[in-house]
């Protein structure tokens, strides 16, 4: 599975794919610079280097339009779906109210999701899951399912609050455990008023989310 793209990397990759499909030629560095509204060709070169390193493109030397897709068939046969960002989740504690309202969505490659899965995205609040590389402001892709097992990272609604933690099932008890070395973060022992709504599929850093076109890769 290819490494996930940052939003700007995905935007440039989509532009390359569109031009190759519609114009039968790749964009030049100048065209990419104008498309992104950038002032530096060097920044475009850095984006292309990242796309090549992650396995999305190949650059041929000594050509003006030197970009090729590494996997043409995959691009031609796939499409994206819009995934709603349902709510924020409290990674520090149960401090964020659960709700189903959303005014944001992200675009996800259908081939990375699989068939017959209901998907949502949530945004992490806090750092009690930082050892699992889930940090404050990150976007978390979640499969909405109650079929989870001990060791899964899950999204759970406890009372009116929502959180993401690692699930532990022990001696008929359900425990939501933080994944952080910080001793402030404590496990939550679930009682009767809770609902596990899904399990974590992937995470993408939120600090780079300046647009909503994102391709995810699984990190399980």
Fill in the DSSP letter of residue 61. T
Cβ atoms within 10 Å, residue 132: 18
Q: How far, in Å, are 75, 173, 182 from residue 150 at the CA level?
A: 36, 11, 22
Q: Which of 53, 146, 165, 192 is catalytic?
A: 165
> 128 catalytic, yes or no?
yes
Residue from 31, 86, 33, 78 nearest 197 by CA: 86
> 165 catalytic, yes or no?
yes
Q: Which of 88, 128, 180, 199 is catalytic?
A: 128
SS3 label, residue 67:
strand
Distance separating alpha carbons of residues 219 and 31, to the nearest angstrom: 34
SS3 label, residue 100:
coil
Residues with catalytic function: 128, 165
């Amino acid at each position: 599975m290819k490494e996930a793209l940052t939003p700007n990397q995905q935007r440039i990759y989509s532009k390359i794919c569109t031009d190759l499909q519609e114009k039968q030629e790749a964009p030049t560095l100048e065209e990419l610079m104008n498309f992104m509204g950038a002032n530096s060709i060097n920044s475009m070169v850095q984006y292309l280097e990242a796309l090549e390193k992650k396995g999305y493109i190949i650059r041929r030397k000594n050509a003006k339009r030197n970009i090729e897709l590494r996997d043409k068939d995959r691009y031609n046969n796939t499409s994206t779906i819009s995934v709603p960002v349902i709510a924020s989740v409290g990674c520090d504690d149960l401090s964020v109210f659960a709700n189903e309202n959303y005014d944001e969505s992200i675009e996800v490659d259908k081939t990375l999701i699989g068939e017959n899965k209901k998907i949502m995205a949530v945004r992490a609040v806090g750092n009690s899951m930082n050892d699992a590389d889930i940090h404050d402001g990150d976007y978390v892709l979640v499969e909405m399912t109650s079929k989870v097992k001990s060791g899964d990272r899950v999204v759970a609604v406890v009372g009116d609050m929502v959180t993401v933690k690692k699930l532990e099932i022990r001696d008929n008890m359900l425990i939501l455990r933080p994944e952080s070395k910080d001793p402030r973060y404590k496990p939550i022992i679930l009682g009767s008023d809770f609902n596990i709504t899904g399990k974590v599929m992937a995470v993408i850093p939120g600090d780079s989310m300046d647009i909503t076109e994102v391709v995810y890769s699984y990190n399980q």
